[in-house]
Structure formats: structure tokens, C-alpha cells
Copies of this chain bind each other. A is one copy, B any other.
Amino acid sequence: MNLPIGRLAGKLALPQPYLLFLGDTTEASYAKTAFGLADWAADRCVGELAIGGCTVSTGLPRLSPAEARAAGARSLVIGVANQGGIIGDNWIAALVEAMEAGLDIVSGLHVRLGSIPALIEASRRTGQRLIDIRTPPPAIPIANGRKRNGKRLLTVGTDCALGKKYTALALHRAFLDRGLDADFRATGQTGIMIAGGGMPMDAVISDFEAGAAEMLSPDAPDDHWDLIEGQGSIFNPAYAAVSLGLLHGSQPDVFVVCHDPSRTVILGMESFKLPSVEEVIDLTIRLGSRTNPAIRCGGVSFNTSSYDADAAEALMAAECKRLGLPVADPVRGGAGFDALVENILA
């Protein structure tokens, strides 16, 4: 599953192929960068590197930095994001070893690589670069709210880390397969790594959040679609500001609600109940209609990775009937996903 990268506008030119760094992660949700790259840019990933305690894997070969370099890797990509986006002290030795083996370091975390003395020292010593991809462009304007030409779709969610990027990528591929003119618009570190460009929405200063979203999906021909990767959730008590600025600035014509039916509480904030899909549809229309009164829900994307095929099928069929909307898992694809695409385009 490799994205047709030539279709994507991008400002960054990251050194590829990658070695994916998993750190000591034990929670798959926090390794979404690594999984996203393995899924959507596998031909540009030579393998993965973990340190003691790590219990997750992308399925790519485990390689030492030297083995990865010998296999052609040009950079180590930090493929994990813990809450807060910090670099663990216990990661440093592995990152230094990677630089000594001839790899640049690429990070989309909040904490800048260039703020860590041990990494700066190793960079000076080895000549390898520290590349922070989470730095927004310098001149983001305040949003103006003007309705732009072209069509836009935004993936929204009941929470973080349950398939918003994946859904936008899968829809992009499906749109291209149908011969439509479409761009994937990346808003997070993994998406930007896959697309080679985008807007790191959660690193933008709040006052410019909606303006950054306007900049990300500029005027386009009437029949062009921007498929915009969502961030967070308007129901997430930590990240709703990011989600609302992205919603207002994206002024989507269509949104798709992404949901993990096995999740009952907000990830990392167990005292907060997960909202229902209907609540997300209702509040997204209410808030989104401020900048696009014609906003509508195109359907629902389920992350059914914790169900077997039959259970997933039955669950989605029941939800489709209950909600009166297409419900599909883009990883499973099939007729359900085709129905979702058709309803978006209807």
C-alpha cells in the first residue's frame, strides 16, 4: 500500500528510506506514526528499531542502525508519540547510535530535537541532521472565513488515534482510482511524513489555527477534492481547540466520523466518556456550519481492528441501519467502503 506521492504537493524533502524507531512503546495507539508509515510508505521504510520494554511492532524487519544504513536507510524516523510529545531519556542512546551509523534523525514530536544537548553534540560530531517536521511555516495569516472554491472533506473523530489519517488516505486513494482530481492534505506528523508536506496543526499558535487550515486547502477547481486529515476531537478536553480551528478553517462540504467501537473512554483521560457517533455528527454540523452552512456527514469510518471479520461485518451492518449512513472500515475495504465513497460523492 504505497501512496502515489507524485500527486501530492509538498515543501519538505525528507531523507528516505527510513528506519522506524518504536522506542519502548507498549501501547499501539502511541505508535501510530510508525504504523502509518509502514502502511502507506512501506517501500520507503527499510525496517524498525526498538529498545528494551517495547511490545509493539510494525511487522517490518528489526534492524540495528548499522544494518539499516547498510540496507540503504538515510534517516531514523521517530515513529512514536507519547502524551505530551516528549523524547524519553532512555531513547537518547539509540538516537545517538543511529547518527553514528550515518542516519539523520526526523521527528514530529512537540519537543524539538535541537533542544536536547546530547543530540546536538552527536549531530555536531557526526554531521548528521536533526530534522523537526513539526515547525509551521512562518507567515500564517489570521483566518478570513472566505468561502473557497473546490470541494473539501474532513475526517473527524470520537477521539484521537482511531483512524482519521488512515481514512483520509484511503479515501484519497479511492478518489484517485475513480479518476477524480484529489489531494490528501496532511495535518499531523505521520501524514506529513507520508505526503512530504502539509500543516502541523497542533503546533500552530492558537490565534492562527483556523488561518493555518485555510492555508492548507487553498482555492481549487470546482471539481477538485481536498481530503483533509482530521486532528483530535471536538469532544477531547485536551485537544478540542485544535479540532475546532481545523473544522472552521477547512470549511468542509463533507465530513466522515471516525470511531473505534471498542473504545468507551477518551484515550489517556479515563474519566471522560467517549461521545457517540451521533453526538459527533450533531456537534460537527452545528460548529462546522459556521463557515460552511452546507456541511453534511458523508458516513462513518469504523476502526474494527479488535474484532474478527464476521463480528466487524455484523457490527457495521447494524450501525449502518441504525444511523441511516454508510459505515465502513477502510482497512477492510469491500462493498461497505465503496458505499461510503459513493455517499460522499452523491
Contact = CB atoms under 8 A, between A and B. Distances in A.
7 contacts: A144-B238, A209-B241, A209-B242, A210-B240, A237-B290, A240-B248, A283-B286
A283 B202 CA distance: 24
B143 A237 contact: yes
A271 B207 contact: no
Contacts of A286: 283
Interface of A: 83-85, 110, 141-146, 201-207, 209-211, 234-235, 237-242, 244-245, 248, 269, 271-272, 283, 286-287, 290-291
Given A202-B205, A205-B205, A142 B210 contact: no
B210 A201 contact: no
Given A248-B240, A248-B241, A207 B211 contact: no
Question: Of residues A110, A145, A203, A240, which shows the largest number of chain B Cβ atoms within 10 Å of its Cβ?
Answer: A240
Contacts of A143: 237-238
A237 B291 contact: yes
B238 A142 contact: yes
Nearest to A84: B142
Contacts of A141: 84
A244 B204 CA distance: 15
B203 A205 contact: yes
Given A206-B201, A207-B110, A245 B235 contact: no
